[in-house]
Each structure stands twice: as C-alpha cells, then as structure tokens.
Structure 1
C-alpha cells in the first residue's frame, strides 16, 4: 500500500502522526510525506520520502497580514472575525494557498499514485488531492482537527474545489466521509463538534531514547508528590507574535516558566519543570525543583502525581495513559477547549488562559493534590486507554480502506 501523509502546522502535529507512519513502514507500506518547509527537516528523519510543498504558518495567514499592512484583501468584518478561534482556524485551513498547493504537487501525486491519504486533522490539501485522485482520505489524531468546525470549512472548501475543477460537495462532513482516527476512547473524546466516530487505537511506545528515566529525576525522594510541569514544545518557539504584529494572545513564555517554577517551589512536593529548550537565565534548579531543557515526558508521567500542562492534545493523551490528574494552563489554539474538557471529565482543574500568577497556579495544584477523586478518575481513564487496541489495528484498517 502507498500512503500519502499530509502534515502542516506545528511539531505537535508531527508527533501525532509519526507513530502511525512508522507502523505503516514497519508493516511494509510505502509512505510519502507532503509537508511544509518548517517541518520537512523533522520528517526527513522518518521512514519515507518527504516533499515540502504545503503552505507554512506565515503563508496561511498572509491574507490577514496583508489586510493589516494595506487594508486590502478582505473586509473589516472578515478581519474582525479572526478574533474568533473557530473562524480563524477554518479560514487558515481553507485559504487560496490550498488550491495553489494542490496544483503544484498534483503531477508528483499522480506519479506516486497513493492508495490512501492520511492527513493531519486540520490539513485539507490532503482531502482535495484524494478527491482529484479518486482515493479515500482519513484524518489522523490531532488537536487542531478536534476543534475544526466542519460547517465553517464547507463553503470555502467548495470554493477551492471549484478552482481545481472538482465538483462542489456542499457537505460539511465531506472532510470525514472516509472516517477518522483517534488515540483516546470515545468516553474521553476532545472533539468540539458532532462529527463521525473514530477508529481508536493506542499510540506506539515512545522511541528508545525516551525509555530511560534521567538519573537526577530517579533520585528524587519518594515521600512527597512528584509534579511535572511543561509548556510543551511550541510555546517557547511561538513567542508573542507570528510576525506582522499578529498577536497570539499568549504570555511571554519566559514569564510563564518563571511562574511555574515559583508556584511549584511553594508546594510540599518534588517538581520537574521542562522548559521546552527555552533558555531563561533566572531559572535555577533547587533541592526540590529540577529545571530541565527537555525530559522524556511519557516516562516521567508514569512516576508523577500531578501534571501541570498547557493543554496540548499530545500531553493530555500522555497524561490519560499514565493515569495522572492535571492542572491545565491553556495558551492558544485547541488548549482552551481541552482545558474545559479536562474539567468536564473530572480529571483536573483549569486556570485562566495564559495566566502568570504563581499563587493561582499553586492553589490549583494544592486543590488537585488534596482531592483523591481526581487521581481515582485519572486511573480509571488509564485503564480505558490501556484497553484500546494496538496501533496495528489502525494499520490494518487503513489497508482495508485502501482496497475498498
């Protein structure tokens, strides 16, 4: 089977999809990644070919940046609607860059002749390529895909179809017509809209270099709770803007990390704070708080009693698998929605978006650590996660879909 895998967005999107593409390659299937120049170097380390031809982050938001510079290209009302997260995601997922990318890669895609297209959840060029080639397409697990509103993308996606000579479908669920994949049980789904049920499976074990606990963490005392705090891999890179003055509405990541260290320092615990490789000169490890550039997060979570997270889909999934309750400090994207879901499932508490108040963070941590019900519910979620079928189930499902 030949699989075209389309990925855009952040490294988190890559981390969602590569366990499955590795499993596909190990099963003898051929993979071609169609991605952005921002992600191509990372995917070059994976089995399969890589083609960088999708619009990167700045190119996807170029219509808004043009309006901000010149007042041209969209109406004031359209620009204002970008403040609404659902509209912004739908717009950047369906802009004119989509049909331009499809035109540019179609000869190569015809030559590769995929049997199925596996796409990142909010990446829609894969849908149009699959429609051009007459093959099925499915979405991989994705935080952005969880909050993408199919009704908001339906009309602009039909405009892109018209530009490519494809029939307009006028069907919001066309982006899921062949199914979708997820890595959490339906009981703990983080989807924001009524969309078709997913085939669910367990993500594969982390790579070998992430299966050994660092010695300094292993030596932490066992008579106090262990708290892991992380802002993920994307916030340190995002900063406060994406060029052109377009605010992401997030705090300075250095301020967030300082607040986390100050907060956990007041708790009766041992703590590990992962900086996402962002250097902050004032952050120092102490006897009770380890500050690290990077940690093997899934492994540390197995030892943890509490996870302070920015609320990305990957981190939450890893916490569910480890049975660890959470304090969620959302920043942007799907994280605010995910934070609400964590509260709804009784798996933790949430904080205001982008807060940098150490006292507020510490109070939330104490509340979760003091209430055993959070841990009990997290452990129940872990059992449900462990009852999911293995990743080979998803590989077999894709192969069956390709033959239909």
Structure 2
C-alpha cells in the first residue's frame, strides 16, 4: 500500500519500529522510527519479570491487554505525535494492531484508516477497550462509543470476506484490499526450480515463533513421505539445532516465500496471517501448527473452511504430521477450497486501486 500510494503521486512517510527501517529504506520509502518492539512492551507490562504466565490463562490475557491496550499504544502515540506535527499528513493509515497510531491521529485531528493484517477475532480480550480508553484519557483524546477494534475508523480488510468474522463484517465500514505477498528478493532453492518428479512441501514456523522441537517433529513426519521438503528455519532456529537431515529435506534460514509458493504443493506452517493469506492466494492446501498470537484463529479458520488441517500443541508429532500431510496431498477437496478462495482474493481491489481512492478517506 505504501509503494502503491507513492506510485500514485502521494507523499508517503512510513513510521514504524527502527528494526524495519533497512527494508523500507531499501524500497525507497521515507521512514521514521517510532514506538518500541512488542517484546519491550511485554517487559514493561510485566515489570521486567523473567517469567511469563501460561498462554491462555487469565494472567496471560491480562498481560496481553496491558501490552496491546496500554503499553504499546502509549509509547507509539507519544512518539508519533511530533512526527505528525512535522509531516502534517492528510491521512494516517494505521495497522489494526497499532492503536497508538490511531490515538495520535485523533489527537492531531487527522483522518485515520485502519489497515487489517488478517482475520478479526470475534471479540476483544476482556478489559481491552477500558485499557485503551484510559490511555486516550492520558492524551486528552475522545474516543467513539462501542467497539474499538478499528478505533472508529474505516477498515481496509485484506482477509477474504468468505472467511472473515461475520459479526465484524456487519459492524464496520469495510473496504476490501487484496493481500499482496512481499518478499525482499533472493534465489529459490534448487528443489523448487529443478525437474519435479514428486510433490514439493514447504515448511516454516515464520520469523517470530521458531521452535526446534516442532520443526524436528514436522521434518520427521514429512521426510517419510514421497516428497521433497524445503524448510525455512527463520532467524530464531539454527540449522544445526535440527540434527541430521534426510536426503529429501533442505533447510534454509530464509527463502523468497512469495515466489516459492508458485512451485509447492502443500504448505506446513505456524498460521501467521502473512503465510496463511499467501498460501490461500496461491490456492494451496495448508497444514497449520499454530504457536501463538493470532495463529490459533487462523488454524481454525483454515480447518473449518476445508482448505487444510490443524495440529495443536502436543498433537504435533512426526506421525501426526505424516498422516495429515499425506491426507492433504491425496485429497483434492482442500485444494479446490483453497483455489476458490484464491479466486476471491484475486478479485479484491489491488493496492493500486485503493491508492487511487485514498482521498475518499480524508
């Protein structure tokens, strides 16, 4: 969207965490470092405690509310306000998880548009709205009544409507926006471009939730199939932590995922919204092994829609991965469902089309 807006003649400033600046600057985008990483938000909200509550517990939900409803919005709003004062934009496009940017835009009197990154949960975590309203009060910002998932702003939805939460669809001013995978370039692994004699499976747990034990189990199950396997281990799992690899498995720290998906037959992954949407857009069946965050909701969505299957927690064993992957490769129905969703995604307005309409939101 940022590149499309710039190509349409708009002046664009991309405000985000400092760790993303090299990638954005490499694309020729003007950047401004604001906010703190999510990990720093968790540290602040937990009083720098070295331990974390059990995911899903009441203590965990309370911590998540403090992080995303208070710590991160406060930091981001404070950092972004002087940026908006100097840049004086006509519109702020803020990510659905970045409520601090929405607060700053309201404080500055600038129209805002909420940009989704995946499926919306049916409901907020208990106490989230109250926490965000408390931060708004600190800045003297008046928020609209009701649901604050979009902070009252129009919503650019990159999730296909057929899989989106129906209650959310009915409640917001929604504009569909085609999800376009981004990858920074690079060479495809040889298994993807050479002659093919059997299916190719892509395995990844993304960049933030790498788990050597989960990857080892998945590799063990997939390697016993008559397939070739490409593994993207990400920055959090070293290749040598995976032990000896079967001949039909290759491990890489990073692969150009957007290009790779054109060559594979099955995606086995963590359920991050980017990989989930990219696989749907490519019409591929998915085996989802969720590890955290929104991944459990994405796994349930894919499984319920018939576009794939999910394995949760202790269910992720080599045998279970083998059986689930074999079934997905043999059954045409998951691919048919995925291809129908791919057609729906292809028909959504492109970033270039939406960029041409940004003035409608100001």
Shorter-chain TM-score: which interval? 0.7 to 0.9
Does structure 1 residue 218 correspond to structure 2 residue 193? yes
Query: Matched residues in 1 for 2:151 and 2:139: separation?
Result: 20
Report the counterpart of residue 9 of structure 1 in structure 2.
Answer: none
TM-score under structure 1 normalisation?
A: 0.78
Larger displacement relative to structure 2 (173-182 or 159-168): 173-182
Counterparts of 2:27 and 2:120, CA distance in 1: 22
Whole-angstrom distance in 1 between the partners of 2:119 and 2:21 = 19
Distance 2:167 2:31 in 1: 31
Q: CA contact under 8 A between 2:272 and 2:295: conserved in structure 1?
A: yes
Shift of 1:291: 2.2
SS at match of 1:181: strand
Cα 1:100/1:42, change in 2 over 3 Å:
same
Q: Which residue of 1 aligns with 2:322?
A: 362
Quote the residue 1:395 is aligned against: 355
Alignment partners' CA distance in 2, 1:297 and 1:333: 21
Q: Give 2:266's aligned residue.
A: 306
Moved more, 350-359 or 264-273: 350-359
Unaligned stretches of 5+ residues in structure 1: 1-19, 71-75, 237-252
Over 3 Å counting, the alpha-carbon distance change for 1:351 and 1:260 in structure 2 is: same
Residue 65 (structure 2) aligns with: 90
- Equivalent of 2:58, from 54, 68, 81? 81
CA RMSD of aligned residues (A): 3.0
User: Which of residues 206, 209, 214 in structure 2 aligns to 1:256?
Assistant: 214
Q: Which residue of the partner structure matches residue 10 of structure 2?
A: 29
Q: Which residue of 2 aligns with 1:142?
A: 117
Provide structure 2 residue ranges, at least 5 long, that are not aligned to the other structure.
none
User: Residues 292 and 148 from structure 1, CA distance in 2 versus in 1: closer, same or farther, beyond 3 angstroms?
Assistant: farther
**1:165-200, Cα deviation, whole Å (9 max, x unpaired):** 223544324734221112232002268956425312
Does residue 44 (structure 1) correspond to residue 4 (structure 2)? The answer is: no
| Deviation of 1:97 (Å) | 5.2
Matches within 5 A, 1:5-404: 20-66=1-47, 68=49, 81-84=58-61, 87-96=62-71, 98-143=73-118, 149=124, 152-173=127-148, 175-189=150-164, 195-196=171-172, 198-204=174-180, 206=182, 209=185, 213-222=188-197, 224-236=198-210, 253-277=211-235, 278-281=237-240, 282-283=242-243, 286-353=246-313, 356-402=316-362
- SS at structure 2 position matched to 1:273: strand
Go from structure 1 to structure 2 and tell me whether the alpha carbon gap of 1:191 and 1:137 turns closer, same or farther (over 3 Å shift): farther
Hey, what's the Cα distance between the residues in 1 that align with 2:194 and 2:131? 55
Q: How many residues align?
A: 356
